[in-house]
């Protein structure tokens, strides 16, 4: 297209149009362009575009070269110098005739006045600044909300912990008084009876010997005495007295053992860490749970398998540790009872009810206690939550969801140990307790490890967990 052909084409169009070479030479333009640039059309024709704009030469050259290589319109911006002002125009350029030989590419430029561009950019920048400030403000608010949410979550956890402690304080207040009263009221009269049995046995033996002497010296007794001897079966009485007194001694001894077990279990007089035999605490717990261990089952009775290794005296909080044994063993018993109900006869024969308790010295600083059952086990969905406060799968009224949570805190916080659960659904559950062989008093204990000093033992609770059916 020649400049003249371009002029004929552009004359009838109202839009400002320029025909320039890729080197910036203005070949022709229409009247709207001359009017927009406030100059005579003849003066502009043959001029250089670089002399008319304030933009950097390199920028304009790059734009023209881009237009010369593309068949599509290329957007750009040109700032023209006018008498007393500048004019910012939006440019749309496209190649009309590609470069050939010595002829440079011809470019058609369409100009659009942007007199308010600076204002538009200023407003846009202002809006961008305002939007940035709003984004920053919202991020701050979001950060504050996250922090407050974290604080609320922490406060809720503290509230739950405090609630647990309050519940256990109330429980142990009543339980302590009850156990102390029972131990005192039962121990005194039973001790009196047990202590006098030896004298009673001596007196009875003397009386029996006296009767035999009378029978030897006076074999012929009056008829009414013979009738009374036959009526009371004197020979049987003389033979049965020894076994009768022996049974009485065994019964009183049994009561005294139960009272001692209650004392050992509750350790009401031991709030500080003391050196004790762990096996005594386990056996005291088993003695208290003896009735539950004898629960009639469809399969074989619950068998307690002990695997005790020689352990030194362990410096610990015996009352609280016995509470852990009570919860874990109770859970195991409940698991075995549930398994007895759920399993068929072949499974009961394959898995006879067994409660396995073992102790060992893990290393010179740590001892371990394992309590294992072969019940139904714990399902994968429940296992991660068994130590959460108030988590229970038991029916309402059967469990509070505190037993394992308190047990976990007693082991981890009070004894700086570990309570680990391993369970295989359908085969049983294993709880492993590992605690240091020695506990330090609050005064000697490092500040970073002084935890749980106000933790109270939990009341023995029937089964916190032990099967995939009951968690409480």
For 336-393, write each residue's pLDDT tens digit: 998 888 888 888 888 899 999 999 999 988 999 999 999 888 888 787 777 776 666 5
Q: Are 459 and 416 in contact (CB under 8 A)?
A: no
List pLDDT tens digits, range 33-43: 889 888 888 88
- The stretch 174-182 carries a mean pLDDT of 65
Question: What CATH architecture is 270-472?
Answer: 2-Layer Sandwich (3.30)
Mean pLDDT of the chain: 80
Q: Is 471 or 309 the better-scoring residue by pLDDT?
A: 309
169-173, 184-188, 227-231, range with the lowest pLDDT: 169-173
Q: Are 302 and 354 in contact (CB under 8 A)?
A: yes
pLDDT at residue 308, as a whole number: 94
> Using alpha carbons only, what angle is made at residue 443 by residues 438 and 449, rounded to the nearest 5 degrees?
60
The percentage of residues in the chain with a pLDDT greater than 90, rounded to a whole number, is 13
372 to 179, 322, 430: CA distances (angstroms): 29, 17, 4
- The stretch 307-334 carries a mean pLDDT of 88
List pLDDT tens digits, range 93-108: 888 888 887 788 888 8
pLDDT at 399 over 90: no
- Kindly report the number of other CB atoms within 10 A of residue 166's CB atom: 11
Q: Is 10 or 214 the better-scoring residue by pLDDT?
A: 214
Q: Is 278 or 438 the better-scoring residue by pLDDT?
A: 278
Of the ranges 250-259, 395-404, 415-424, the best mean pLDDT one? 415-424
pLDDT at 111 over 70: yes
pLDDT at 267 over 60: no
- The stretch 223-241 carries a mean pLDDT of 87
On the CB side of 153, CA atoms within 13 Å amount to 6
**Pick from 289, 291, 290, 283: nearest CA to 318:** 283
List pLDDT tens digits, range 270-306: 557 788 899 988 998 888 888 888 888 888 889 999 9
pLDDT at residue 360, as a whole number: 93
pLDDT at residue 269, as a whole number: 45
- The stretch 446-462 carries a mean pLDDT of 36
Query: Cα(263)–Cα(260) distance, rounded to whole angstroms?
Result: 5
List pLDDT tens digits, range 114-172: 754 444 555 566 777 788 888 988 999 999 999 999 889 888 888 877 776 676 656 65
pLDDT at residue 154, as a whole number: 85
Q: Are 316 and 276 in contact (CB under 8 A)?
A: yes
Query: Cα(137)–Cα(148) distance, rounded to whole angstroms?
Result: 16
pLDDT at residue 15, as a whole number: 87
> Using alpha carbons only, what angle is made at residue 364 by residues 361 and 370, rounded to the nearest 5 degrees?
20
- The stretch 253-269 carries a mean pLDDT of 67
Q: How confident is the model at residue 244 (pLDDT cuts 50, 70, 90)?
A: confident
The percentage of residues in the chain with a pLDDT greater than 70, rounded to a whole number, is 80
Question: What CATH architecture is 3-116?
Answer: 2-Layer Sandwich (3.30)
pLDDT at residue 72, as a whole number: 79
Q: How confident is the model at residue 417 (pLDDT cuts 50, 70, 90)?
A: very high
pLDDT at residue 261, as a whole number: 66
Domain ranges within the chain, ordered by starting residue: 3-116, 159-266, 270-472
pLDDT at 460 over 50: no
Query: Cα(365)–Cα(136) distance, rounded to whole angstroms?
Result: 54
Q: How confident is the model at residue 76 (pLDDT cuts 50, 70, 90)?
A: confident
Query: Cα(434)–Cα(412) distance, rounded to whole angstroms?
Result: 9
pLDDT at residue 367, as a whole number: 93
Q: At what angle do helices 278-288 and 318-342 cross, to 10 degrees?
A: 50
Query: Cα(374)–Cα(237) distance, rounded to whole angstroms?
Result: 50
- The stretch 319-342 carries a mean pLDDT of 88
pLDDT at 434 over 90: yes
Q: Are 466 and 332 in contact (CB under 8 A)?
A: yes
pLDDT at residue 393, as a whole number: 59
346 to 349, 352, 432, 445: CA distances (angstroms): 5, 10, 29, 54
pTM of the model: 0.48
> Using alpha carbons only, what angle is made at residue 309 by residues 307 and 315, rounded to the nearest 5 degrees?
120
């Amino acid at each position: 297209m020649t400049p003249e052909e371009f002029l004929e084409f552009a004359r009838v169009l109202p839009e400002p149009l320029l025909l320039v070479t890729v080197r910036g030479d203005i070949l022709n333009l229409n009247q709207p362009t001359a009017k927009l640039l406030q100059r005579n059309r003849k003066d502009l024709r043959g001029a250089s575009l670089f002399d008319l704009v304030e933009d950097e030469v390199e920028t304009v050259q790059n734009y023209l070269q881009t237009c010369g290589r593309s068949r599509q319109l290329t957007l750009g911006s040109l700032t023209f110098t006018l008498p007393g002002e500048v004019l910012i125009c939006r440019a749309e350029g496209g190649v009309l005739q590609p470069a050939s030989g010595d002829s440079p590419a011809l470019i058609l430029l369409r100009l659009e006045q942007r007199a308010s561009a600076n204002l538009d950019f200023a407003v846009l920048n202002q809006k961008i600044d305002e939007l940035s400030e709003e984004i920053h403000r919202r991020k701050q608010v979001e950060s504050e909300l996250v922090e407050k949410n974290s604080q609320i979550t922490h406060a809720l956890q503290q509230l739950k912990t405090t609630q647990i402690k309050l519940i256990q304080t109330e429980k142990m207040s009543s339980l302590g008084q009850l156990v102390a009263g029972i131990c005192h009221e039962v121990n005194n009269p039973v001790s009196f009876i047990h202590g006098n049995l030896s004298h009673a046995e001596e007196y009875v033996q003397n009386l029996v010997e006296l009767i035999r002497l009378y029978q030897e010296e006076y074999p012929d007794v009056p008829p009414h005495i013979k009738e009374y001897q036959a009526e009371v079966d004197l020979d049987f009485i003389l033979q049965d007295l020894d076994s009768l007194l022996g049974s009485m001694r065994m019964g009183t001894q049994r009561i005294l053992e139960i009272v001692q077990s209650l004392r050992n279990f509750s350790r009401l007089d031991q709030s500080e860490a003391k050196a004790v035999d762990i096996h005594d605490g386990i056996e005291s717990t088993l003695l208290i749970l003896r009735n539950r261990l004898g629960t009639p089952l469809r399969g074989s009775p619950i068998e307690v398998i002990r695997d005790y290794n020689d352990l030194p005296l362990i410096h610990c909080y015996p009352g609280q540790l016995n509470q852990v044994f009570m919860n874990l063993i109770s859970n195991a018993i409940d698991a075995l009872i549930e398994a007895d109900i759920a399993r068929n006869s072949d499974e009961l024969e394959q898995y006879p009810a067994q409660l396995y308790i073992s102790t060992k010295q893990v290393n010179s600083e740590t001892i371990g206690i394992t309590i294992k059952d072969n019940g139904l086990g714990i399902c994968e969905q429940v296992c991660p939550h068994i130590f959460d406060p108030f988590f229970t799968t038991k029916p309402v009224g059967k469990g509070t969801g505190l037993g394992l949570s308190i047990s976990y805190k007693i082991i981890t916080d009070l004894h700086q140990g570990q309570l680990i659960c391993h369970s295989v659904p359908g085969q049983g559950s294993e709880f492993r307790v590992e605690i240091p062989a020695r506990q330090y008093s609050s005064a000697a204990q490092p500040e970073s490890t002084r935890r749980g000093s106000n933790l109270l033992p939990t009341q023995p609770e029937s089964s916190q967990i032990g099967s995939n059916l009951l968690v409480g």
